[in-house]
């Protein structure tokens, strides 16, 4: 029964989780996280969010926060879990069971997704692979309003030989999938790739100070890019309401289809294809800005 309900709300839950990932990325790189069910908060990327613990998972069973007498969580901080419990419907018996005995590792994600898809919090955070927290609504809007608007950077490509954008565009069009798309070179330093629900931009930078600035901005492995003569920036925007093709998410340090895995961020397949194609060029080092690592050489 849980699986059936999860299938019905999975897309809505993924969109809400993707929004949380985007907001966190706008704040800054990952760092230390903290959480407290008694005080009702989670701290991510140095920002504290009001949150309630939905429940906890020990690998063998799920325990709802309202049934966790050991932690003595204040009643007002179990409101989401209790409201879920009291909802009428086919799942009322399962949601009212204090402890669900199940060793399925997907269970916490499933219950968190069911919660946010039905309005109990606007996103969830899985703390230390043991506790699910639901973020109070409205907080992501505050962060989004404060964050500068702009496209998501997908990759920075460092060419250790001087390259023209025309050469790069020609190389991209050599891919059987990319050549069918609307790839347009606007000028010597800017090309676009657009389609329904997405827009990609490829910008060329060859001034020494600009290339050095991109190298210095790398979070790690600067030696891989040091000495580059040209940099190519791959950025884009994604409209989840309109995009209906394959999306990928970052999980376990790699990209995986978002339809089968829960992870951080959502990226259209076109962006990954551009990165993989550029990675095939000689003397090119492609840095994935979301995974924060360099692509392995093809």
Domain boundary among 145, 162, 190: 145
Q: What is the mean pLDDT of residues 27-53?
A: 90
pLDDT band at 140 (very low <50, low <70, confident <90, very high): confident
55 lies in the same domain as 115:
yes
Q: Tell me what pLDDT residue 185 has.
A: 96
Work out the number of other CB atoms within 10 angstroms of the CB of residue 268.
23
pLDDT the model gives residue 273 = 96
Residues 113 and 9 in one domain: yes
Residues 160 and 94 in one domain: no
Closest by Cα among 81, 115, 123, 113 to 98? 81
pLDDT value at 167 more than 70: yes
Residues 163 and 129 both lie in one domain: no
Tell me how crowded residue 43 is: count the other CB atoms within 10 A of its CB. Answer: 15
Most confident of 1-10, 84-93, 236-245, 271-280: 271-280
Torsions phi, psi of 157, nearest 5? -110, 125
Q: Which domain holds residue 243?
A: 152-294
Q: Residues 189, 126: one domain?
A: no
Percent share of the chain, pLDDT over 90: 63
Residues 177 and 274 in one domain: yes
Residue 192: count of CB within 10 angstroms of its CB: 15
Q: Do 241 and 264 reside in the same domain of the chain?
A: yes
pLDDT score of 15: 81
94 and 162 share a domain? no
Percent of the chain past pLDDT 70, that is, above it, reads 93
Q: Which carries the bigger pLDDT value, residue 135 or residue 24?
A: 135
Dist CA 295 CA 292 (whole Å): 10
205 and 101 fall within a common domain: no
| 115 & 186 share domain | no
User: Does one domain contain both 122 and 208?
Assistant: no
Please give the tally of structural domains in the chain.
2
Q: What is the pLDDT of residue 29?
A: 67
Which DSSP state fits 129? Answer: T
Q: How confident is the model at residue 282 (pLDDT cuts 50, 70, 90)?
A: very high
The C-alpha atoms of residue 291 and residue 129 are separated, in whole angstroms, by: 20
Mean pLDDT of 217-241: 91
Write the Ramachandran bin of 46: left for phi over 0, alpha for psi from -120 to 50, otherwise beta: left
Asked if residue 62 lies in contact with residue 103, where contact means CB atoms within 8 angstroms, the answer is: no
What is the DSSP secondary structure assignment for residue 66, as one 8-state letter? G
Question: Are the beta carbons of 124 and 116 closer than 8 angstroms?
Answer: yes
Q: pLDDT digit string (tens) for 243-252?
A: 999 999 887 7
The average pLDDT across 172-179 equals: 95
**Same domain, yes or no, for 273 and 188?**
yes
Q: Mean pLDDT score of the chain, rounded to an integer?
A: 89
**Phi, psi (deg, nearest 5) at residue 268:** -70, 150
């Amino acid at each position: 029964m849980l699986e059936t309900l999860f299938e019905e709300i999975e897309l809505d839950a993924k969109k809400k989780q993707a929004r949380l990932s985007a907001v966190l990325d706008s704040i800054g790189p990952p760092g230390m996280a903290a959480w407290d069910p008694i005080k009702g908060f989670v701290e991510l990327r140095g920002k504290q969010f009001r949150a309630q613990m939905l429940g906890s998972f020990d690998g063998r069973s799920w325990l709802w926060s309202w049934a966790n007498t050991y932690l003595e969580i204040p009643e007002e901080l179990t409101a989401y879990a209790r409201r879920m419990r009291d909802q009428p419907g086919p799942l009322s018996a399962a949601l009212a069971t204090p402890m669900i005995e199940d060793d399925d590792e997907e269970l916490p994600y499933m219950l968190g997704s069911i919660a946010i898809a039905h309005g109990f919090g606007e996103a969830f955070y899985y703390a230390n692979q043991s506790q699910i927290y639901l973020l109070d609504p409205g907080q992501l809007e505050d962060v989004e309003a404060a964050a500068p608007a702009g496209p998501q950077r997908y990759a920075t490509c460092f060419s250790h030989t001087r390259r023209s954008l025309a050469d790069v565009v020609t190389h991209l069009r050599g891919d059987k999938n990319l050549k069918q798309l609307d790839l347009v070179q606007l000028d010597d330093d800017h090309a676009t790739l657009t389609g329904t629900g997405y827009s990609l931009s490829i910008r060329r930078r060859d001034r020494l100070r600009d290339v050095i600035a991109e190298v210095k901005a790398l979070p790690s492995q600067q030696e891989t890019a040091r000495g580059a003569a040209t940099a190519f920036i791959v950025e884009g925007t994604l409209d989840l309401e309109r995009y209906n093709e394959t999306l990928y998410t970052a999980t376990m340090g790699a990209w995986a289809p978002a339809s089968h895995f829960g992870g951080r961020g959502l990226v259209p397949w076109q962006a990954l294809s551009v990165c993989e194609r550029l990675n095939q060029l000689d003397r090119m080092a492609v840095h994935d800005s979301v995974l924060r690592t360099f692509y392995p050489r093809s």
